[in-house]
Structure formats: C-alpha cells, structure tokens
Amino acid sequence: MEERCENCIVRKFNALRAMSKDELKAVSDSKVSRKIKKGEVIFEEGEKLNGVYCVRGGVSKLAKLSPNGKDQIVKLATKGEVLGQRSVVAEENSNLSATAVSDMEMCFIPKEAIVSTLHKNPDFTYEVLRHMAHDLREADDVIVNMSQKTVKERIAEALLYMMNNFGEDQEGYLALVLSREDIANVVGTATESCIRILSEFKKQGLIKTSGKRMAILEARKLQDLADGF
Amino acid sequence: MEERCENCIVRKFNALRAMSKDELKAVSDSKVSRKIKKGEVIFEEGEKLNGVYCVRGGVSKLAKLSPNGKDQIVKLATKGEVLGQRSVVAEENSNLSATAVSDMEMCFIPKEAIVSTLHKNPDFTYEVLRHMAHDLREADDVIVNMSQKTVKERIAEALLYMMNNFGEDQEGYLALVLSREDIANVVGTATESCIRILSEFKKQGLIKTSGKRMAILEARKLQDLADGF
DNA sequence: TTTAAAAACTGACAAGTGTCATCTTTTGTC
DNA sequence: GACAAAAGATGACACTTGTCAGTTTTTAAA
C-alpha cells in the first residue's frame, strides 16, 4: 500500500506543507504514485499538463529544445521539487520537457486538487509564490552566467553545483552521474567542448574520473576558476 | 493632486487589479508618486526593498552585475509592470538593479500594503503568482537564447523585441531608444561587437539609423536571422 | 559657438568555441 | 564472451567573438 502525503517527509520541502489537513487528504486521495526509469520522459515540451509531479526520489532534467535542435537543460530537479507547477499556474502548455536522469519515484497530483487550493488557501498560494520567486532568482543568475562566463567557467560552476546540491558518495565521487552530453546541455556548449575541458581539468588534477563517474579533487581551485580567476 | 490607484488605468495590466476596493484604497493612501529622470537609479542590486514600484510611464532596465564587471540586462520593464515584486515576496534583498532608460513616472508602494494583501486575498496572491509564472517562462526562454544563439541572432531578436513591445514613432523609428552599450548588455556581448553587427545590418539594408535612433526596415529578414536562417 | 566628455565606430589580432571526421572505450544485450 | 551501439575522446580547422588601441561623431555644458 502506498504512503499517504500526510506522512510523506518530501512535502516538507515544497509548498504542500502549507496545505490544511483536509486539503492534503484530498491531494493524497487523488494522487498517483509512479516509478520512472532512467531515461524515461515524464512530459514533453508543449504538452498540456493535467497536474504536477512531486519528486520523491531520483533526479530529472528540465530542458527546452532550442531552434538549432539542441536541448538546453534549464534546471535539475530532485527530491521535494514539484514539476509542472509553473504551467499549471499559468494555465499554459509546458514550456519544458522533463526526463529522468536516474531512476525516479514520483507522485502525480491532478491539477484540480492544486488549483482549488490555490483559490481558497492564501497560505498555500503564498508558499507556491515564494518558491517561484526563488526559481525566478535562480533563472536570473543562470542568464548572467550564460551570457558573461566562458564555457570553462560554466563547467567548473556546474561541477560545484552538482557537488553542493547532490552530494558525493563514500569514495568522493559525485552522487549525480550525468553524461558528458547532459553536462554540455546544462552549460550550453558542444559536447566535444565539454569533454575537452573536463579532460583539461583532469590533467590539472582538479577532478578525477572513473567511467562516467566524476570526483572533485580541488573544489577551491574550481571555485576560483568559476569566479573568473 | 495625485491620481488615486482606483482610477489608474495602469493597474489593469498588473496584479493590483485583483485587489478589493478597500485594499486598493489602502495602497493608494500609502503610495508615493515619483518622477525619475533618464539615467537615474531606482534601486541597486543587493539593496533591501521596502516596497515595490509600479511603473506608470517610461522604461527601466533591470540588470545584474556579473563577476567580470559587466552589466547584464535581464528585463526591460514598462507601463504596468511592477518592480521589486520578486524581492518583496521572497523577503530577500534585490538581486537586480533598476535604472531608468527614459524619463519615468512611477508609484512606490510600501511592502506592508502588498504583504498584508498577499496573506488575506488569495485572488491577489494568485494573480501575482500568475505574473511571476509568466516572468519565469520568459526567463527560461532567455536562458535558451543566450546559450544557443549567436550574437547576431540575439541582436536581431532584440531589435524585433523592441519593435514589438515598445513600438515605433511616426517616422518608423523604434520608440525605445537604447545606447549601443545597453543593447550589448541585453544580448550579453561586447559593445564593439554590438556596434559592428548593427553596422552590418545597416549595410544590408535591414535597419537604418539616425543618431542613436534606429528603424527596422526588413522585419521579416531580421526574423529569419533571429531564427537562425 | 566653443569645448570637453561621452558615445559611436573601425581595424587588427588573439583567444574561445563549434564542427566535422575519426578513433577508442564503455555499456548493454544476446 | 561476442557483438553492436552508445558514449567518450582527440585532432584539425574555420568562424565567432572579445580585447585593445585609436579615430570620428554626437551630445551636453560652458
């Protein structure tokens, strides 16, 4: 039997924590749990979303296809984050696609349960608003990084971001394993350029690799690099 | 005597339209109208905002200083837009600076009037949320443009953006007059590169200039350029 | 009108980055 | 374990873009 939202720790991290008991009960009754395999698509760009996805475990990439045919990863979402919130709120089709980067567990919550609470519970609405304000600030930061930093600086930053937000395993390797192509799509560069710079970092002893796993050896130096020194 | 918010058409364009009569009255009683000269700073990056600014006329640029010392213009805000909303909602210092690009008229609304309404009126909160969802989508689009388009494509797009959002005067010149440096800061490039590409557009007959005023002659061709053809 | 400062412009050049082609290694499946 | 497919890696090269240095034009103030 599936866990109920009332007992789900994940909700502490997102706006659902501002729901009343009754509202949460309604959400829990209407939600559907899903397991999603690495590589599987959760929703496509342009798709109409009939609800949001609350991530219980695993990591997904939110990407947008650029006119030249390349995917730009706009955000990596993990435990506690809610996907599709923006589209449901704006009543627009999704502007992003979501794909699992690792095996995932998530709950689909039909939009009715969300929208009705948005209309009735200002605390919840405010909480969603605060999360979106946070996302917007991050997006502003990304814009500046994209336009003003070199590819090398952005890759250094992406590595540190992965370390700080997804952690490391016992051996010191980044817990989040991304393909070179995904990393390239995060920083907005060609896969080859990304590989080249990672090789350079490796030669300089800033990182080490084992298969596609990567470990950061000199976080401080990478930080300096990311900051343009 | 100053106009009251209740009678101000500008509010139709932003979330204030979802306020009740009483709430709007409170805002109107506490607001302060200000005229701001071109070039004047409205607020700085990192500054604590004690309220929001509702733009009644004129245009302002919202920018963020990048580590390398260049300003990146993240958004151009005009009539009806509310500045500082994100920071007030998130209870953070501003992540952007705001500077007048033309002479402006705006109203400062103390944050108390906004925050108390956010807590009490879900319609208002929802409306603010929808506006922020819209801003977030636009930010996503900007991220993709920045990372995937060439400088030339971005400049073509910026010109079309200026035409579509700020219009043209009788002679067909863009109503919004930006310096070359500002345009460069919008598209995230060096001023010299921006000038060079504008000169090229001029040679190709896509635009014409008169002082710092610019007119678009071949919108269609610029659009193709912006789309990567 | 004169003058100084700011903005616009241009050329030369180097560095950064993307593309294409090719090769090697890893991964997953039968 | 063998094989095919995917991912990673590397070199060559051209093109884009930023930087620096300097000139011209425009703007604003005296």
The complex's ipTM works out to 0.93
Taking contacts as CB-CB distances below 8 angstroms, the residues of chain A near B148 are: 66-68, 70, 72, 188
Q: In this prediction, what percent of chain A has a pLDDT beyond 70?
A: 99
Interface test with B, best of A144, A151, A223, A224 (most B CBs within 10 A): A144
Query: Could B67 and A228 be called an inter-chain contact, meaning their C-beta atoms sit closer than 8 Å?
Result: yes
Asked if the model's pLDDT at residue B5 lies above 80, the reply is yes
Per-residue model confidence (pLDDT) at position A162:
96
Burial of A164 (0-12, 13-18, 19+ CB in 10 A): exposed
Nearest to A184 by CA among A71, A77, A45, A105: A71
C-alpha angle B56/B60/B61, rounded to 5°?
155
Per-residue model confidence (pLDDT) at position B156:
96
Torsion (CA) B3, B6, B7, B9 in degrees, nearest 10: 110
Q: Among all strands, which nt has the closest C1' to B179 (CA)?
A: C7
Q: Among all strands, which nt has the closest C1' to B150 (CA)?
A: D16
- Phi, psi angle pair for B178, to nearest 5°: -115, 150
B150 to chain A, minimum CA–CA distance in Å? 11
Interface test with B, best of A119, A134, A140 (most B CBs within 10 A): A140
- Collapsing DSSP to helix, strand or coil, A63 comes out as strand
Nearest residue of B to residue A134, measured between CA atoms: B90
Dist CA B46 CA B216 (whole Å): 37
What is the CA B52 to chain-centroid distance, rounded? 14
Asked if the model's pLDDT at residue A67 lies above 80, the reply is no
Task: Kindly state the helix (H) or strand (E) to which residue B209 belongs, with its residue range.
Answer: strand B207-210
Nearest to B79 by CA among B105, B101, B42: B105
Mind listing the pLDDT tens digit for each residue in A196-209? 999 999 999 999 99
A95 to chain B, minimum CA–CA distance in Å? 7
List residue ranges whose Cβ is under 7 angstroms from nucleic strand D. A 179-181, 191-192, 195-196, 198-199, 209, 212; B 68, 150-152, 188-190, 192-193, 211-212
- Collapsing DSSP to helix, strand or coil, B218 comes out as coil
Per-residue model confidence (pLDDT) at position B2:
66
Mind listing the pLDDT tens digit for each residue in B59-92? 999 999 987 788 999 999 999 999 999 999 999 9
Per-residue model confidence (pLDDT) at position A2:
66
Stretch A134-142: mean pLDDT: 95
Continuous H helices in B105-203: 111-120, 122-148, 151-166, 180-187, 191-203
Residue A139: which residues within 8 A CB-CB, separation 6 or more?
A: A74, B136, B139, B140, B143
Q: Among all strands, which nt has the closest C1' to A155 (CA)?
A: C17
Determine how many CB atoms are found less than 10 A away from the CB of residue A206. Answer: 19
Residue–nucleotide distance: A139 CA to C11 C1' (Å):
38
- B186: amino acid identity, one letter: V
Residue–nucleotide distance: A63 CA to C19 C1' (Å):
23
Taking contacts as CB-CB distances below 8 angstroms, the residues of chain B near A137 are: 86, 90, 92, 95
Taking contacts as CB-CB distances below 8 angstroms, the residues of chain A near B117 are: none
Query: Could B143 and A143 be called an inter-chain contact, meaning their C-beta atoms sit closer than 8 Å?
Result: yes
Stretch B125-145: mean pLDDT: 95
Taking contacts as CB-CB distances below 8 angstroms, the residues of chain B near A128 are: 129
The 8-class DSSP code of residue B191 comes to: H
Stretch A120-145: mean pLDDT: 95
Stretch B179-192: mean pLDDT: 96
Residue–nucleotide distance: A137 CA to C13 C1' (Å):
38
Mind listing the pLDDT tens digit for each residue in B112-127? 999 999 999 999 999 9
| Closest amino acid to nucleotide C15 (CA–C1') | A150
Question: pLDDT band for position B13 (50/70/90)?
Answer: confident
Interface test with A, best of B49, B144, B187, B194 (most A CBs within 10 A): B144
Dist CA A215 CA A197 (whole Å): 15
Query: Could B133 and A89 be called an inter-chain contact, meaning their C-beta atoms sit closer than 8 Å?
Result: yes
- Phi, psi angle pair for B95, to nearest 5°: -90, 0
Residue–nucleotide distance: A72 CA to C19 C1' (Å):
19
Asked if the model's pLDDT at residue A180 lies above 80, the reply is yes
- A191: amino acid identity, one letter: T
Residue–nucleotide distance: B218 CA to C18 C1' (Å):
29
Per-residue model confidence (pLDDT) at position B28:
94
Asked if the model's pLDDT at residue B221 lies above 60, the reply is yes
Dist CA B176 CA B178 (whole Å): 6
Mean pLDDT rounded to a whole number for chain B: 93
Dist CA B27 CA B14 (whole Å): 14
What is the CA A36 to chain-centroid distance, rounded? 15
Query: Could A95 and B135 be called an inter-chain contact, meaning their C-beta atoms sit closer than 8 Å?
Result: no
